[in-house]
Amino acid sequence: MQKIYICRHGETAWNITKQHTSFTDIPLTENGIKQAISLKDRLKNKKFSAALTSPYKRAKETCELAGFEGTFENSLVEWNYGNFEGMTTKQIQAKIPNWSVFKYGCEGGESIDDVTKRGYNMVEKLLKIKGDVITFTHGHYSRVLIACWLGLTAKEGRYFCSSNTSLSILGYEHNDRVLKLLNDTSHLKRS
């Protein structure tokens, strides 16, 4: 049965400073490049019917450095943070106490309902592809995609994690959609 590999992009400068990055198109750091290259060895024996990537530099570079020629898929872009773009959680919480993207969505950006709908639409696109698929996407959106695969909403994305260049695998058990692997970064320990 089909498996969907979800790969988060490598480290960026804003990952280090913990700034929310959706539409700001920044490249990988030197460490992010090393992280992405480490994926190549990890994935070298896997066969995929499709490799899809967010069009943003950080995801596209990760895809290429991991050895794939990805097709751009706009539905894989990060949650649109709107007015919170470039801000840290601490800065946002100074304005909105206890704020979390998974509780409140983003003022001037995507709501929880918006990103949930986009996640379900992406799952439907993935289901139409015959065979295994690898995707290169972003931290919060990868968590949304996992939640939608499992029939949940974006709010439940808070229960998952997604480190830089982590791999998560969506699949099936007895015809039920399941999470087969979450946030695996074992390739980073080898490099």
Could you tell me the domains of the chain? 4-190 (3.40.50.1240)
d(CA 45, CA 56): 26
pLDDT surpassing 90 at residue 75: yes
Q: What is the mean pLDDT of residues 26-51?
A: 96
Q: pLDDT, tens digit, for every residue of 135-157?
A: 999 999 999 999 999 999 999 99
Distance CA 171, CA 181 (A): 9
What pLDDT score does 190 carry? 65
pLDDT for res 189: 82
Of all helices (H) and strands (E), which one includes residue 87?
A: none
| Confidence band for 93, pLDDT divided at 50, 70 and 90 | very high
pLDDT of residue 128 exceeding 80: yes
As given in the structure block, the two tokens for residue 109 are 């950006």
Q: Which of 11, 61, 73, 78 is catalytic?
A: 78
78 catalytic? Reply is yes
Dist. CA 20–CA 26, nearest whole Å: 12
Residue 172 pLDDT more than 90? Answer: yes
Length of the chain: 191
Q: What is the pLDDT of residue 61?
A: 98
Q: What are phi and psi of 141, to 5 degrees?
A: -70, -35
Q: Which pLDDT does position 11 carry in this prediction?
A: 98
H helices of the chain, where?
13-17, 30-43, 57-65, 89-95, 101-104, 112-127, 139-149, 186-190
- The answer to whether residue 156 is catalytic is no
pLDDT of 15 reads 97
The whole-chain average pLDDT of the chain stands at 97
pTM of the full structure: 0.96
Does pLDDT of 191 surpass 80?
no
Name the active-site residue from 9, 20, 140, 187. Answer: 9
Q: Which residues, including other chains, have CB under 8 Å from residue 113's CB and lie 6 or more apart? A: 105
From 72, 62, 18, select the one nearest 188 (Cα to Cα): 62
Mean pLDDT of 82-97: 97
Q: How far apart are CA 144 and CA 123, in angstroms?
A: 11
Q: What is the mean pLDDT of residues 85-102?
A: 97
